[in-house]
Amino acid sequence: MFNDNGSFLLALFEFFLFFAWFMCLFWVIGDIFRSSDLGGGGKTLWIIFVILIPWLGILVYVIARGSGMQERQLEQAKAMQARQAEYIQSVAQSSSSSATEEIASAKSLLDSGAITQAEFDVLKSKALA
Protein backbone atom coordinates (compact mmCIF):
# COMPACT_ATOMS: atom_id res chain seq x y z
CA MET A 1 0.00 0.00 0.00
CA PHE A 2 2.70 2.47 1.02
CA ASN A 3 5.80 1.91 -1.07
CA ASP A 4 7.91 4.57 0.61
CA ASN A 5 7.82 7.04 3.47
CA GLY A 6 6.65 9.87 1.25
CA SER A 7 3.38 8.16 0.33
CA PHE A 8 2.69 7.37 3.98
CA LEU A 9 3.31 10.97 5.00
CA LEU A 10 1.12 12.20 2.16
CA ALA A 11 -1.71 9.89 3.25
CA LEU A 12 -1.26 11.06 6.84
CA PHE A 13 -1.42 14.69 5.72
CA GLU A 14 -4.56 13.98 3.64
CA PHE A 15 -6.20 12.33 6.64
CA PHE A 16 -5.29 15.35 8.79
CA LEU A 17 -6.80 17.75 6.22
CA PHE A 18 -9.99 15.68 6.02
CA PHE A 19 -10.30 15.57 9.79
CA ALA A 20 -9.61 19.33 10.08
CA TRP A 21 -12.22 20.07 7.41
CA PHE A 22 -14.75 17.88 9.20
CA MET A 23 -14.15 19.67 12.52
CA CYS A 24 -14.42 23.10 10.86
CA LEU A 25 -17.58 22.00 9.06
CA PHE A 26 -19.30 21.06 12.33
CA TRP A 27 -18.06 24.24 13.97
CA VAL A 28 -19.37 26.46 11.16
CA ILE A 29 -22.69 24.62 10.77
CA GLY A 30 -23.23 24.84 14.54
CA ASP A 31 -22.61 28.58 14.38
CA ILE A 32 -24.97 28.98 11.43
CA PHE A 33 -27.81 27.35 13.34
CA ARG A 34 -26.90 29.18 16.57
CA SER A 35 -27.07 32.57 14.87
CA SER A 36 -30.26 34.44 15.65
CA ASP A 37 -29.61 37.34 13.29
CA LEU A 38 -29.82 35.10 10.18
CA GLY A 39 -33.18 34.12 8.80
CA GLY A 40 -34.08 30.75 7.36
CA GLY A 41 -33.13 31.72 3.82
CA GLY A 42 -29.74 33.03 4.88
CA LYS A 43 -29.02 29.91 6.90
CA THR A 44 -30.01 27.74 3.93
CA LEU A 45 -27.74 29.63 1.55
CA TRP A 46 -24.79 29.43 3.94
CA ILE A 47 -25.32 25.69 4.47
CA ILE A 48 -25.49 25.06 0.71
CA PHE A 49 -22.39 27.19 0.13
CA VAL A 50 -20.41 25.46 2.90
CA ILE A 51 -21.37 21.97 1.70
CA LEU A 52 -21.01 22.47 -2.07
CA ILE A 53 -17.72 24.38 -1.97
CA PRO A 54 -16.22 23.03 1.26
CA TRP A 55 -12.89 24.79 1.88
CA LEU A 56 -13.85 28.04 0.20
CA GLY A 57 -17.26 28.07 1.90
CA ILE A 58 -15.77 27.65 5.36
CA LEU A 59 -13.09 30.25 4.66
CA VAL A 60 -15.62 32.80 3.36
CA TYR A 61 -17.93 32.16 6.31
CA VAL A 62 -15.14 32.68 8.83
CA ILE A 63 -14.08 35.90 7.08
CA ALA A 64 -17.63 37.24 6.70
CA ARG A 65 -19.17 36.22 10.03
CA GLY A 66 -16.20 35.11 12.15
CA SER A 67 -16.19 38.18 14.36
CA GLY A 68 -19.45 37.19 16.04
CA MET A 69 -18.82 33.47 16.37
CA GLN A 70 -17.34 33.70 19.84
CA GLU A 71 -20.08 36.05 21.07
CA ARG A 72 -22.79 33.67 19.86
CA GLN A 73 -21.06 30.76 21.56
CA LEU A 74 -20.72 32.72 24.82
CA GLU A 75 -24.40 33.75 24.70
CA GLN A 76 -25.40 30.12 24.27
CA ALA A 77 -23.17 29.06 27.18
CA LYS A 78 -24.61 31.80 29.43
CA ALA A 79 -28.17 30.85 28.52
CA MET A 80 -27.43 27.19 29.22
CA GLN A 81 -25.86 28.08 32.57
CA ALA A 82 -28.89 30.20 33.49
CA ARG A 83 -31.28 27.36 32.61
CA GLN A 84 -29.19 24.94 34.66
CA ALA A 85 -29.16 27.28 37.68
CA GLU A 86 -32.94 27.74 37.38
CA TYR A 87 -33.44 23.97 37.26
CA ILE A 88 -31.20 23.42 40.28
CA GLN A 89 -33.12 26.09 42.22
CA SER A 90 -36.46 24.48 41.36
CA VAL A 91 -35.25 21.04 42.42
CA ALA A 92 -33.73 22.36 45.64
CA GLN A 93 -36.93 24.22 46.56
CA SER A 94 -39.19 21.27 45.81
CA SER A 95 -37.07 18.89 47.87
CA SER A 96 -36.99 21.22 50.87
CA SER A 97 -40.74 21.80 50.73
CA SER A 98 -41.38 18.06 50.45
CA ALA A 99 -39.21 17.48 53.53
CA THR A 100 -41.22 20.12 55.35
CA GLU A 101 -44.45 18.48 54.29
CA GLU A 102 -43.23 15.06 55.43
CA ILE A 103 -42.28 16.41 58.85
CA ALA A 104 -45.64 18.20 59.16
CA SER A 105 -47.57 15.05 58.27
CA ALA A 106 -45.47 13.02 60.73
CA LYS A 107 -46.17 15.64 63.42
CA SER A 108 -49.90 15.40 62.76
CA LEU A 109 -49.65 11.61 63.09
CA LEU A 110 -47.76 12.05 66.38
CA ASP A 111 -50.36 14.50 67.67
CA SER A 112 -53.21 12.14 66.77
CA GLY A 113 -51.46 9.29 68.57
CA ALA A 114 -51.00 7.11 65.49
CA ILE A 115 -47.20 6.96 65.95
CA THR A 116 -44.86 7.21 68.92
CA GLN A 117 -42.17 9.83 69.57
CA ALA A 118 -39.43 7.38 68.48
CA GLU A 119 -41.22 6.71 65.17
CA PHE A 120 -41.63 10.49 64.66
CA ASP A 121 -37.90 11.00 65.24
CA VAL A 122 -37.09 8.31 62.65
CA LEU A 123 -39.46 9.88 60.10
CA LYS A 124 -38.03 13.32 60.79
CA SER A 125 -34.44 12.16 60.33
CA LYS A 126 -35.36 10.43 57.06
CA ALA A 127 -37.06 13.58 55.78
CA LEU A 128 -34.07 15.75 56.68
CA ALA A 129 -31.54 13.35 55.16
Give the number of domains in the chain.
1
**5 by DSSP, 3-state: which?**
helix
Instruction: With beta carbons less than 8 A apart as the criterion, state whether 102 and 129 touch.
Output: no
Task: Indicate the pTM of the whole model.
Answer: 0.56
Give the residue numbers spanning the domain of 42: 5-128
Q: How many helices (DSSP H) and strands (DSSP E) are in the chain?
A: 5, 0
Asked whether residue 65 carries a pLDDT value surpassing 90, the answer given is: no
Mean pLDDT of 61-75: 87
Alpha helices (H) in the chain, listed in sequence order: 5-34, 40-52, 54-65, 69-112, 117-128
- What does the DSSP 8-state code read for residue 66? G
Query: What pLDDT, in 10s, does the model give residues 32-46?
Result: 998 888 899 999 999
